Structure formats: C-alpha cells, structure tokens
Structure 1
Amino acid sequence: MLESLLPYYERELGHLRELSGEFARRYPKIAGRLQLEGDQCEDPHTERLIEAFAFLTARVHKKLDDDYPEVATSFLDVMYPHYLQPMPAATVVQFECDAQRPEIGKRYRIERGQQVLAPAIQGVNCKFRSVYPVDLYPLQLQEARLELTSGSPYLRSLAPDAAAVLTLKLQTQGGVLLNAIDLQSLRFFLDGEPALMHLLYELLLSSVLRVQVGDGSEDPARTRMLAADSLQAVGFGADEGMLEYDERSFLGYRLLSEYFSYPDKFLFIDLLNLAPLVARLQGDTLLLRIQLRDYPDSERHHRLQSQLQPAHLKLGCTPLINLFTQPGEPIRVTHQKSSYPVLADARKQQAYEVVQIRRVVRVEKSGDGDSSEEVPPFYATRHGSGQAPRFYWHATREPSVRQGDRGTDMALHLVDLQFDAVRPAGEVLSLDLLCCNRDLPEQIPFGGSQATQRTDFQLPGHSVVKRVRLLRKPGASQRSPLGRAVQWRLISHLSLNYMSIVDSGREALQEMLTLYNLGDAAANVRQIQGIVGIRSEPAVQRVNGRHFSGFVRGTEITLTLDADYYVGGSVYLFASLLERFFALYCAPNSFTRLRVRTVQRDEEVAAWPARAGEALVI
C-alpha cells in the first residue's frame, strides 16, 4: 500500500514545487518572507509544511482513484463473494496407522475437515484441515506392476481382449483376515513423476475394461469382476472442495480455482464396490488385476511400465488446506472511528490473514447483564426481513503495509441502510473469522522421500495414526489482484455471464479460465493457450426413468487441444475439468457431452457421457 502511495506523493510534491517557483516569480516580496526562490525553499519549516501538504493531498488523490475499484469490489462481494478471498497454501499428506492398535482391526475413518497441525514456524503451528475423508485399513500395497498381455501367455488367457494388465497386490497387517476389515473402497493417490502419474491417471479412468478382484488363488469361486466405472475420479464433487463457497458462488468456478492453484488435489482415484466381493475372500491377500483396453507404443508408456512401483499408489492420503476458524480480536466501537482493523491475533499479525468474516455479533453491557445480537452484513439479502437492525457491517481488503508481506489486511466498517457511516459508541463487536497463516506455510520443512519425524504433521485426537507424512511441500498462498485490476476482472466476469463460452469461440473460454489463474502461473497460462478450437452442435439424449422414458435436448461440444502445451501436465485431466465445468455451466433441463481431439493425433482421444450439472444423464 505504501509503495502505491509513493508515486502520488512524488507527483504532488513536484506539482507544489513547480507552483511555488511560479509564485516566487510573480510575487517575489511575499515569496521572500517564506524564503521561496524558484522551486527551492530555504526555510526548513516551510519545506516541511510543503511536504506534509503533499502527503495529505496524495492520500486524497489516491483515495479518489481507489473509489472506482471499491465499487467493483462491492459488486464482486455480492455476485462472486469467493473471488477476492485468498487461496491459502495446500499440500498432501499420508496418514500411517499403527497396526498394533485394536481399533485398526477394521475400517477407521478420519472425517473431512479434521484439523492437522504443522511443525512450529516462528512460534506458530500452521493449522490445516483435511479436504477428503480418509478410510484407514490394516492394508499395505506390496506389489504394483504393469505388464503387456502380448508378453504373458497367462495374462493373455486371463484377459484376451486386454492390451495390458495393472496388477496390485495388497496384504493385511497384524494377522487380520481380509474379510474382517470392512473393506468398502480404496482411494489411491498417484505420487511420482508428474508426467507418468498423469499418464497413469488417464489409463485408469479412460482405458479400463474391467477389474478382477481375488485373493491370488486360481479358484474361480474366489474371483469376481468389477465394471470399469468402479474406478472413479475424485475432487470434482460439491462435497470435495478445498474452499468454503456459499450458495451464491458457482461450483464450476471453485473447480477452476482449485485446479489452477493446486492440481495435485485431483490426482486421487477411488476403487468402489469392494465390500460384497471381499467378504467372500479368505486369507490376508487382496489381488487386483486392472485390465486395460489400450496401451500405446510410446516412450512415456514404456517408462511407466518399467518404472511403476508400489510407492506410486499411496493409500491413506488426503489434500490439506491452510484454513481454520478462529475468533477475532474483539472490536471496541468508539465515536472516533468509522473503520476498524480485523485481526485474528494482535500479537502475531504477520502469521494470520483473514480469508472471510463469517459472523459479527454486537455485545452490549447494561445493568441487566450482557446482551448480544448478530450484526448482518450490508451486502446480503436480509434488508427486508423483520425488524431493521441498527446498523450493518461491510469489509474492505487492502494489501498489507508491512514490509515484505504479500498478504492482505481487512477493515470492518459500520454503516446504516443508506450506507452512511455510524458510530454506535460503547459497544463491543465479537467476530468469527475464517483464517489462514499468510505465507508462513512456505517455510515448513520438507524432506520429501527422506522425511523424518521433524517434518511430520500432527493429528490431535487420533492415537491410531502414528505418523502424518508430508508428501508435497506447501506452496505460497495466491491472491486476486486488488486495486484497479479488480474493475476489469469484474467487467470480464459480467460480460462472460451473458455470453455462451462455447458458441463464442475459444477466446471466451480462455478469458474465463484466465480469470481464475490467480497466480498467473506460466504452466497454467500455457495450458489455457493450448486450447486450439471449440465447437458445439445440438444433441438429443434418451432419458430412462422408473415410470417413463423421454428425450432431453443438450449440446455436444468438441474441444481441440494442442498436446505440446501440456508437457508435464495432462490433456486428459484438463479436459476432465472442462467437462465438469461445461456440465455445471449449461442451462437447466439441458446437458453437455464433451469430446476431445488433439492436433497431433487428429482423432478423438477422449469422450464423456452426457452430463447435466453433477449427474450423468442415463
């Protein structure tokens, strides 16, 4: 903030010196009393007055300029309340259970939203919350291998229509029998070289014929088949978000924010419907044979085949995000102020950043005791309900003025229904905040594969978990640009809302994606530029209900991508994101169906069934 004030100050000071020189030439006698000569002033007191006046007028000038972004910010608060909130640091951890504990003899669940503590940095333990629920089993992946059926007569006889088979061998720990652990599903995190893990992700979600489930014996009675759709992508559901979005925010925008900020969140795959099959198995071994329809003859596919190992498919993992609730410092309202800084911890301001004000409560003391009443936000839909409150609150967000701090600070303003400032003296405001630890998570030690107990996180209240291993180094928090950039982003958002991002060509789609590339990361920019073309045409899909059948109109979208722009990433994952986004973005009582082509192959490389919102059209 101070850096942005400096140009205004220098401009005002230069203007005053220029005017003082002209004043001295016109009125030399008066100027002599002030010791003004040209654009110089020999009197230090007069010089300080000029500098002080330049500083004050610079603040006024800057405030006038900032009024325009303030209006845009208010619009965003109402229509897109998520947009100006910081995107906190994120990471991925693995929970390792203690197989000797009696609770781990069967499924042990760690619910979504559990608080996880990082090692102390500058005397502060960064607080994270789990994004996905985690089911822990006394299971360990012992073997993972990928084989071509052409090189194995046994696999060819087992799956004559498969090109390759991914074999996963899991074994129980502590002498527990497989059919006693209540195994319902397995969630794998693909952890390894990004190019190979993205390839494995694509194979498991687009090329699977079926999954054979058994215990390694040759007895057909103890072998069952699962359909290909038992393997499901993770991270696209409304209950799988990293961020807290209210009902005003569109789910599709959340997916864009999370993908461009932390794509590793999506590198999870579920294997479902295991319970009835595993109940029939004996012993302590679970053998999964995932049969693949295609396995192209390429350098990347050969590397995946030769380098795949059990460490690449980890169990018991979840993303974490640096978000937590915390009561704010109480605000004592006085008649001297119209705005008040919002602080999570006044003693360690550099370690806490307010992401969202969840609730403001007015506490008033009287002879009959304390009374409290919730203060509604000004930008809300409560103005016509019941008795009008005495005042409302609204908040502004500004870049931090502290040296080297890339974060933001918030201020709370009290206004009446006409948006005039009010000063209800003698009251105390209690705040409920959603916070992050600014950029402190960047300093958390990370040991990678050589991680030690010193770098481990802690999971309070779960003694079953003996270790919380950090699998990814937490990155920096990302923030939307403030100031004048806000109004242009608002205009882009509003204009895109009244356009079809499909019918308007790739430029409209690229503009929408760019709005959510908050960090302006080069890799994300390149992926957005990799969209070569998009076209749509009307489509009709048959819908079968319990008591009726019918047809629904929708849109079939063909997306063309340049695979060279996704080196180190994944065409398939990027297209999966857009497939979900299109389905959420489409009109009610309609659907979208996406097909993807690449410039290099000039053929369809992926296709998804018709989807309306979050549901497939069947």
Structure 2
Amino acid sequence: MAFDKYFREELSFLKTEGQHYSELKPHLSAFLDGKHADPDVERLLEGFAFLTSRLREKLDDDFPELTHSMINMLWPNYLRPFPSTTIVEFTPLDNILARKKELEAGIKVAGYADESGVLCQFKTCRALEIYPIERIKVFAEQSLDQSIIRLQFKTHGEISLDSFITNSLTFFIGESGYVSEMLYFWMHHFLSKIDISIGDQVLNIPLESLQSEGFSEEEGILPYPKNVYQGYRVLHEYLVYPDAFLFFKLLNLEHYFKHCSESQFTLNFYFNKALPSDITISDKNFRLYCTPAINLFEHDAEPINLDGLRSEYRVISSSQTPLHYEIFSIQNVRGWGPADNKKNSGPSNERVYYPFESFQHEQARALHQKALYYRTRVRENTIDNALDHFISFSRSDELQHIGTNETISIELLCSNRFVPLELGKGDINICSDQEPSFVSVRNITEPSVPLHPAVDDSLLWSLISNLSLNYVSLLSKESLKTIIKAYDFRGLNDRQAQKITEKKIDEGVISIDTSPVDRVYRGLPIRGIHSTLVLNGDAFSSEGDLFLFAKVLSCFFSLYASINSFHELTVINTNNNERYEFKAQLGSQPLI
C-alpha cells in the first residue's frame, strides 16, 4: 500500500507543478493544463510518476536485502507465513485395534473445499499413541470448597486392560475459549490429587505424571531449523495459535494395568477449589487422540530457465492455479545443464545449489568445489494479498555459462493459502494412502486464518535489535513488550487481535522484578534468576487466559537462560492477589 501512496504523491506533484509551469509558459498550456492536457503527455507523466515512486519506495524500504539475509540466518520462520492450522481427532475403529499403535508426526490428512473443490492437505504436528480404549463419559462433582472431574473409559470388545501396554494418555482440553482456559488453569494450579479406579481398586497417580504439551521442541507446530532459539517458537505459536497448548499428558500408566482383567477404568482429578458455576463440562472436553495439524505439503515449483540475463527470478508455485498455493519455504534447489558446458551439447548433469547464508563457503573452497549459491527475497503482493518469492543465483563458473541455459528445479513446502477457510468442522476427513487402516480422522476445530509476516517493514530492524538482548536485559517490562509485539502475527494481520494483545502487554504487564537466587541441584550449587511478574487480570479474558500467558512466559524465560543456570517465575494477579508459582527450569542457551 505504500507504493500507492508514493504514486499518488508523485503524480499530484507533477500535475501541480505542470499547472504552475504552464502559467509561466502559456505556449505549453495545451500539453500541461488540466482538462485540455495532451493525453500522450498525461501517460508520460504517469509513467514517470510510476518510476519515481519505485525509486522512493526503494529509498524507504529499510534495506530488506540486508535484513532478510540476517533474519534467514537467525530466525527464518519470521519471514514465512503461518499457514492455516486445526485440531484433528483420530478415532480407533472397533474390533480392529487390539494393542498400542504409534502414529508418527507428519501423517497426511486432507479435505475438499466446498467452493473451489481444492484438496487441502494438512500434516499432523505431534506423534500419537493409539490404544483400543475410548472415553465413554466425562462429568464433574462439586462441593463448596473442592471439585472432582471424572473420566470414564472402556476397552474395545471388552478386552482386558493387561492384554496391551498403556504407556500414556494425551488429552485435548477443548477449543480455546473461556471453559477450556479455565479447565487448563484448574488442571495446572488447583490440582491436588489424581487417582485411577479399576474395579474395586483405587490407585494414586503422582501429580508429576501430568505434563503440559506444546512446549518441547518435538511438539512444535511449524518446522523449525535446529539453530533457532526455541523460546521464540513457543512465544510465536502461542500468540498465533493458542489451541496448540491446551493439551496435557498422563505419563507412566503401564504398571497400573498389570495383572488387570477389567475392561473399564476411571481417572479422577481432585481440586482444592470448586470450579466456577459457569463452567459446564461436556464431551467436547478431555478428548483422546488429538493433535494439531498444519496446512503444509511438498510441492515442486515451475522450472526456471537460468540464462544469466536477470539478477533475480520469481519463484512460481503454480502457473495454472496460483491462488491455491502459497510458498512457505524453499527446501532444495538443483540445476541441470550441458555436461561439457557447451551450448546444446552433451548429456545433462545435476548440481546442487546451497543457501547463500549457509556455512558452505569455506567447505566448498577447501574441497575445491564450484561455489553454487542462491539467495531468496520475499516481497508483499498487495494485489493478491500474498507473498511473492524471488531467487537469485551466484555461480563461480558464471563465465563458462555465457550463451548456455541451465534449468533450475526447486522443491517447495507450500500451503493452500486461504482455501482452507472454506472448510468447516469435520471436513478434513481423508487419510493419505500411507495412513494406517485402524483409525478414522476428522478435524474438530475450524481451520484458522493464515497469517503473513511483516516483510517490508521497520519491524524487522526491531526484531534484529531484540536478538542482541541478553538474558538480564530481556527481563524488563519494556523489552518484554517489544518482544511480544514483534512476534504477534495475528496483530499484524487483524486490528482487533492487535488491540487484544496490546491490552495484555500495555495494561496487563504492570511490573517485572528479578533477583539472583541459589539452588542445590544434584548436590551442586547453581545460581539462577527469580522473576516476579505482576499482571492485571482485567486485561485478560479470564484467569485461565492469564495463567496460560504466564506459563508461556515461564517457558520463554527459562529457554533464554544460559546452560548451568535456571529461571523460576512467580506471577501475581492484582485482581485477587493470587500467586502462581512456576518451578525452576534449567536454561538451554550456550554462554558463547
């Protein structure tokens, strides 16, 4: 949209100055003066305004050639869109499954969009363990000062529980909203006891067996490079798709079912505070075999004819249906050309191009290999509301390719752009050919809106400056606000979402104080940092919303802490003076 502004300003300037000049030179008024102006001169002025607008845009574009290269090295996902995401539920088929089966992350599922007829492809983000167990009932019992949530289960075909091994059960609390947020809050803050009822036996389960999901590296939604700081991933995914964190897992269940001939059992969760009266638990809560799924799939770009006559080439995902594809990332780049480097002679040979920002330069030089690199640039396309990708090439044997063409093949990771918004609940119900036959699948939430990053904005410089923050400087109110705003993709695309986030960080974050503390870990003293974060509950939609926000920040701070150190967080809600204590977590950042 900035280009439109520049064009209007330049054209207005030319017309205004043209009118003034025609007053000074009356004999030129037929060419420059208003309604009687020569149409050919008008087109010439418009073309000149267009070119000068491009020049002004280039002068004011904050050097994306520099910022994009730095971001590609340090945090490439910031320049990538966040595709549509949903929660899918796998249901084991009756009388087929008799023991545990594992579904690895990356299972392909799909659904047809009603209007366009496009097959929207998704892939699961987390591994699942499927058992011949189904939940048959969920309900709550209340008293004045405590509450109990009971989950009842049975096996398929009434097979005994000891006939297969049950390691863990993962639950999806429910789609984000007041009820799910408050249930998440109760499960992680007011939980006092867990037990399992099997026949006449009641066995206690340690509270440590309950584990949150979404915070570890293997539980991420987007594919991330290994060198990317995981704290930014957690913060980014929370701000864009908080449903991914409304999961928990019960671990180490296998020994409770040994020598057990029963086919039913009940999990009981006891809380030392009664659930709010407006919380109603239904079958939509505490669902088994669910995982986030994201609209990403492999796709080949249109071949590029590398003739050396242009500085960069546009990467086209599909020339036939461009609105059905959006590039997420470039995976591999290969070239084919004449083996003897002479025009139209010899068989074709394949060679691989590497990202220019990679660390292949010294290795290629040491091995006396040809230097073959590519660089990518992302630009915003305001006409199609999309991101255009451009690629440029660097070849050490460029002189040998004068007069010859090289065919470039590019492997992409793509999404279906905005097409998944045509899908509703239950529409993603197709399993890929590689999918096991013992389950069915359906999405239980509507696909989210795809989000674009700010690729031509001064926000990139703000992001780069944030990368220089050390651990201590990060633990300040202003630095925390800056970080959250930078990674709020929903706020960049939706004004209403931006207001919600701004309210949380501007009105919600009151203060943050830090102090060094010492703890003994495995017999050794370790120095870490304790932070006290004061939050205003009125800035959040619910106390559960505040608690999840605080839990994400606790993970973010701990991942930012250095190795051989730790971080622990205390959060105070000013509305009710409630304190939320988050356990000390060891850091993961290298000191150098």
TM-score, normalisation: structure 2: 0.89
2:552 to 577, 589, 613: 577
- 1:319 corresponding residue in structure 2: 292
Q: Equivalents in 1 of 2:7, 2:65: separation in Å? A: 21
- 2:538 corresponding residue in structure 1: 564
Instruction: Tell me the SS of whatever aligns to 1:72.
Output: helix
Residue 510 of structure 2 aligns to which amino acid in structure 1? V
- 2:71 corresponding residue in structure 1: 76
Q: Using the TM superposition, give the Cα deviation of residue 397 of structure 1 relative to its aligned residue in structure 2, in angstroms.
A: 0.9
Alignment of 1:482-497 (within 5 A): 482-490=455-463, 492-494=465-467, 496-497=469-470
Partners of 1:541 and 1:610 within 8 A in 2? no
- Aligned in 2, Cα 1:392/1:463: closer, same or farther, shift over 3 Å? closer
Q: Using the TM superposition, give the Cα deviation of residue 460 of structure 1 relative to its aligned residue in structure 2, in angstroms.
A: 3.6
- 2:228 corresponding residue in structure 1: 249
Q: Equivalents in 1 of 2:547, 2:163: separation in Å? A: 37
1:131 to 125, 133, 136: 125
Partners of 1:73 and 1:486 within 8 A in 2? no
Q: Using the TM superposition, give the Cα deviation of residue 74 of structure 1 relative to its aligned residue in structure 2, in angstroms.
A: 2.8
Alignment of 1:495-574 (within 5 A): 496-497=469-470, 500-502=473-475, 505-520=476-491, 521=497, 522-529=499-506, 530-544=508-522, 549-568=523-542, 569-574=544-549
1:340 to 313, 331, 354: 313
Q: Equivalents in 1 of 2:12, 2:143: separation in Å? A: 79
Residue 83 of structure 2 aligns to which amino acid in structure 1? P
- 1:160 corresponding residue in structure 2: none
Gaps of 5+ in 1: 152-162
Q: Using the TM superposition, give the Cα deviation of residue 430 of structure 1 relative to its aligned residue in structure 2, in angstroms.
A: 1.2
Instruction: Tell me the SS of whatever aligns to 1:225.
Output: strand
Q: Using the TM superposition, give the Cα deviation of residue 167 of structure 1 relative to its aligned residue in structure 2, in angstroms.
A: 2.1
Q: Using the TM superposition, give the Cα deviation of residue 600 of structure 1 relative to its aligned residue in structure 2, in angstroms.
A: 1.8
Q: Equivalents in 2 of 1:423, 1:482: separation in Å? A: 34
2:355 to 366, 377, 380: 377
Q: Equivalents in 1 of 2:176, 2:54: separation in Å? A: 51
Partners of 1:333 and 1:423 within 8 A in 2? no
Q: Equivalents in 1 of 2:139, 2:439: separation in Å? A: 29
2:250 to 257, 263, 271: 271
- 1:607 corresponding residue in structure 2: 581
2:443 to 470, 491, 494: 470
2:110 to 107, 117, 130: 117
- Aligned in 2, Cα 1:556/1:335: closer, same or farther, shift over 3 Å? closer
Q: Using the TM superposition, give the Cα deviation of residue 73 of structure 1 relative to its aligned residue in structure 2, in angstroms.
A: 2.6
Residue 110 of structure 2 aligns to which amino acid in structure 1? L
Q: Using the TM superposition, give the Cα deviation of residue 396 of structure 1 relative to its aligned residue in structure 2, in angstroms.
A: 1.0
Instruction: Tell me the SS of whatever aligns to 2:521.
Output: strand
Residue 89 of structure 1 aligns to which amino acid in structure 2? S
Q: Which moved more, 1:388-397 or 1:456-465?
A: 456-465
Partners of 1:141 and 1:310 within 8 A in 2? no
Q: Equivalents in 2 of 1:383, 1:400: separation in Å? A: 33
Q: Equivalents in 1 of 2:5, 2:402: separation in Å? A: 33
What is the CA deviation profile of residues 467-501 of structure 1, one whole-angstrom value per residue up to 9, with x for unaligned ones? 32221111211122232334443354245458612
- Aligned in 2, Cα 1:320/1:425: closer, same or farther, shift over 3 Å? same
Residue 519 of structure 1 aligns to which amino acid in structure 2? R
Q: Percent identity?
A: 28
Q: Using the TM superposition, give the Cα deviation of residue 393 of structure 1 relative to its aligned residue in structure 2, in angstroms.
A: 1.2
Partners of 2:562 and 2:587 within 8 A in 1? no
What is the CA deviation profile of residues 339-370 of structure 1, one whole-angstrom value per residue up to 9, with x for unaligned ones? 21112222111111111112211222335522
Q: Equivalents in 1 of 2:263, 2:2: separation in Å? A: 65
- Aligned in 2, Cα 1:394/1:497: closer, same or farther, shift over 3 Å? farther
- Aligned in 2, Cα 1:51/1:21: closer, same or farther, shift over 3 Å? same
Q: Equivalents in 2 of 1:67, 1:82: separation in Å? A: 19
Q: Using the TM superposition, give the Cα deviation of residue 455 of structure 1 relative to its aligned residue in structure 2, in angstroms.
A: 5.8
Instruction: Tell me the SS of whatever aligns to 1:54.
Output: helix
State whether structure 2 residue 387 is matched by structure 1 residue 413: no
Q: Equivalents in 2 of 1:270, 1:59: separation in Å? A: 54
Q: Equivalents in 2 of 1:111, 1:69: separation in Å? A: 38
State whether structure 2 residue 164 is matched by structure 1 residue 181: yes
- Aligned in 2, Cα 1:308/1:22: closer, same or farther, shift over 3 Å? closer
- 2:83 corresponding residue in structure 1: 88
Q: Which moved more, 1:228-237 or 1:559-568?
A: 559-568
Q: Equivalents in 2 of 1:23, 1:555: separation in Å? A: 69
Q: Using the TM superposition, give the Cα deviation of residue 264 of structure 1 relative to its aligned residue in structure 2, in angstroms.
A: 0.5
Q: Equivalents in 2 of 1:524, 1:581: separation in Å? A: 17
Residue 133 of structure 1 aligns to which amino acid in structure 2? A
Instruction: Tell me the SS of whatever aligns to 1:359.
Output: strand
2:412 to 413, 422, 433: 433
Residue 229 of structure 1 aligns to which amino acid in structure 2? E
How many residues align? The count is 570
Residue 598 of structure 1 aligns to which amino acid in structure 2? N
What is the CA deviation profile of residues 219-263 of structure 1, one whole-angstrom value per residue up to 9, with x for unaligned ones? xxx443221010110110011111111133210000011001100
Residue 16 of structure 1 aligns to which amino acid in structure 2? L
- 1:359 corresponding residue in structure 2: 332
1:590 to 550, 554, 565: 565
What is the CA deviation profile of residues 425-484 of structure 1, one whole-angstrom value per residue up to 9, with x for unaligned ones? 4101111211111111111133xxxx5xx5634344335355322211112111222323
Partners of 2:210 and 2:251 within 8 A in 1? yes
Q: Equivalents in 2 of 1:607, 1:484: separation in Å? A: 38
Q: Equivalents in 1 of 2:464, 2:354: separation in Å? A: 28
- 1:17 corresponding residue in structure 2: 15
Aligned alpha-carbon RMSD (Å): 2.7
Q: Equivalents in 1 of 2:78, 2:175: separation in Å? A: 32
Partners of 1:205 and 1:232 within 8 A in 2? no
Alignment of 1:289-304 (within 5 A): 289-292=268-271, 294-296=272-274, 301-304=276-279
Instruction: Tell me the SS of whatever aligns to 1:384.
Output: helix
Q: Equivalents in 2 of 1:492, 1:207: separation in Å? A: 40
Q: Equivalents in 2 of 1:491, 1:349: separation in Å? A: 32
Residue 341 of structure 1 aligns to which amino acid in structure 2? R
